[in-house]
Amino acid sequence: SMLLLKKKKYAALMVEEKDGQLVTTRETKGLDLVRRDWCTLSREAGSAVLDFILSGLPREELVSKVLEYLRSIADKIAANELGIEQYIITKGLTKAPSDYPDAKNQPHVQV
């Protein structure tokens, strides 16, 4: 299976032969779930939804499973069942804060 969003943004299942066995691995490039500036909750939810999409399930079953999964996440959020570490976003600076011309529009520079 392969999901093409646009140039340099895709996810695919790769099948390779290793030691006489076919091994399937997922490769993702450019998608938000592989970026480090998203919280763990977003990355994990995106990864789970992507697994559903690449699973090859019929469309109706796929949509049903994705909705069920996202509703369960929403319920956990509403019930405050997830730890604060699930919401943390880390961001680094590549230069001194004063060297950013638009620092006021970049929260990670302000902090």
CB atoms near residue 102 (< 10 Å): 7
Q: What is the pLDDT of residue 2?
A: 84
Residue 6 placed within a domain: no
Residue 76 placed within a domain: yes
One-character DSSP codes across 61-82: HHHHHHHHHHHHHHHHHHTT-S
Residue 24 placed within a domain: no
Domains in the chain: how many in total? Answer: 1
Tell me which range, 8-12, 44-48, 69-73, is most confidently predicted by mean pLDDT: 69-73
Q: What is the pLDDT of residue 91?
A: 75
What are 49-78's pLDDT values in tens digits? 999 999 989 999 999 999 999 999 999 999
Residue 91 placed within a domain: yes
Can you give the residue range of the structural domain that contains 46?
33-110
Nearest alpha-carbon partner for 50 in 28, 21, 20, 73 = 28
Q: What is the pLDDT of residue 98?
A: 76
Q: Answer whether residue 102 shows pLDDT above 70.
A: yes
Residue 21 placed within a domain: no
Residue 26 placed within a domain: no
CATH code, domain carrying 94: 1.10.132.60
What are 15-45's pLDDT values in tens digits? 999 999 999 999 988 887 777 778 899 999 9
Residue 12 placed within a domain: no
Q: What is the pLDDT of residue 107?
A: 64
Rounded to the nearest 5 degrees, what angle is found at the Cα of 17, between the Cα atoms of 32 and 56? 50
Q: 31, 11 in Cβ contact below 8 A?
A: yes
Residue 11 placed within a domain: no
